Amino acid sequence: MGDYWSNKVPIAIRSLDLSPFKRITYTKTVIVSGFVAGFLLSRRLWVSYRFFPLIPILPGLPHIPTLVDGILFAVLLVLLALIGVATRPRIYILSFALFLLFLALFDQTRWQPWAYLYVFMLLGLACFSWKPDDVAGQENALNICRLIVCATYFYSGLQKMNPRFMVGTTSMFGALSSRWPALHALGWIMAGTETLIAIGLLTRKFRNVAVIAGVLMHLDILYVCVIILHWNSVIWPWNVAMMALLFLLFWKTDFSFRQVVWANPFRLQKVVLVLFAVLPLLSFFGWWDSYLSASLYSANIPMAYIWMSPTVKRQLPLQIQRYVKKQPGGNDLLKVQDWALGELNVPPYPAVRAYRTIGAALCHYSHNSPDISLVIHEKDTLLQQGPSLPDTCLGTLLVNKW
């Protein structure tokens, strides 16, 4: 079966047979390119000169001055350029990771899934000596990247196996869904396929088939996001990068399941195993964050809506008012996702603690007005259906100093 489908791809790809050193070099190039594209498309995310609030990992962390975080962002781009051209980029990778971690401490919205995946893949490449004759080191570094990719596909598929995703997928077809009942199964097929891609990539027999299926899946995502919706451009280069990584890491390769999942002398492999393959299991019980568990666009993440009176709306900066929509009944609605995508070009970090910090920022603008109400819809878990959590400026959102 694998040979049959492999023969259906263009001959230039079919004949692709790279050495481990070329695979690791091209993988580095793809990750760096994807990172640069993501940074440039979300540049407002990485500086403090904006209206969407910073969400520090610890309350009380001071804001970095605008000039300083602008310089840090420029340093990240320079380090990425150095990683891309250096023949031995380990020191640049480690420096980049430290600078990125520093910025991430001051804003959890920066914990975007693509940045999380890219930085650990770069750290995996930093484990390798970058000597052309170190074949064992090359394969071990590549296997860390393979583990990250497989775990991401696996949990991304599992996270979509929920009623909300199924309803959302079916609703895209409008009236056709009532005439074609088979469309109701499409969501389950999509979720199951993504999970099977992860499993197939870890097998020798179905590996090439899984690569082709993964590429087709990403092309479909790009078609929907670029052509149909023209939405969320920050993930466009991520999907292109993932297609390239599928070929570089998996096409015509001969590693075993055990080599990827366990038998790796690099200590980082065990860290990656815990972060990408073990801890995401806790997300199904609500004990680990959605974005650290490959739950991107699964339709089952915490969502937040902020209701306010027209008077409160007029107290907000004009740059925020543009995202507040008039609703029947007299109140206005600010969808946190619309605000984040509109100003930062990334979705908000979906966690209750993050949404409450955002709500507190609006309470600050309105002097703790009682006419603001934050409603958080928690994700469904295996333990319970996600509850709705109302909050106000006179509740836990109360701020005396900002």
| Three-class SS state of 140 | helix
Q: Indicate the pLDDT class of residue 14, thresholds 50, 70 and 90.
A: low
Q: What percent of the chain has pLDDT over 90?
A: 75
List strands edge to edge, sheet with 372-377: 324-326, 332-335, 303-308, 372-377, 388-392
CB 344 within 8 A of CB 41: no
Rounded to whole angstroms, the Cα distance separating 109 from 217 reads 27
Name the average pLDDT for the chain.
Answer: 90
Look up the pTM and report it: 0.92
Report the pLDDT averaged over residues 289-317: 93
pLDDT for position 124? 97
What residues have CB less than 8 Å from 118, skipping those under 6 apart? 31, 34, 35, 38
Q: What is the pLDDT of residue 188?
A: 85
Torsion of CA 213, 218, 219, 223, to 10 degrees: 140
Helix (H, G, I), strand (E, B) or coil at 151: helix
Beta-carbon contacts of 402 under 8 Å, excluding residues fewer than 6 positions away, are 360, 361, 364
**Angle subtended by helix axes 135-159 and 20-41, to nearest 10:** 50
Q: How many CA atoms lie within 13 A of 147 on its CB side?
A: 31
* Cα 345 from Cα 337, distance rounded (Å): 10
pLDDT in the model for residue 401: 42
Q: What percentage of residues in the chain have a pLDDT greater than 70? A: 90
Neighbours of 51 (CB within 10 A): 16
Q: What are phi and psi of 252, to 5 degrees?
A: 55, 50
According to DSSP, the residues that pair with 308 across neighbouring strands are 332, 372
Reply yes or no on whether the pLDDT at 399 is more than 60: no
Tokens in use for 294? 């490959």
88-91 — which CB contacts under 8 Å span 24+ positions?
Answer: 88/130, 89/28, 89/125, 89/126, 89/130, 90/126, 90/130
Closest CA to 326 of 318, 334, 337: 334
Which tokens sit at 228?
Answer: 């149909």
Q: Comparing 7-16, 20-29, 194-203, 258-267, which segment has the lowest mean pLDDT?
A: 7-16
Element (H, E) at 303: strand 303-308
Q: What is the pLDDT of residue 398?
A: 59
CA distance 243 to 27: 11
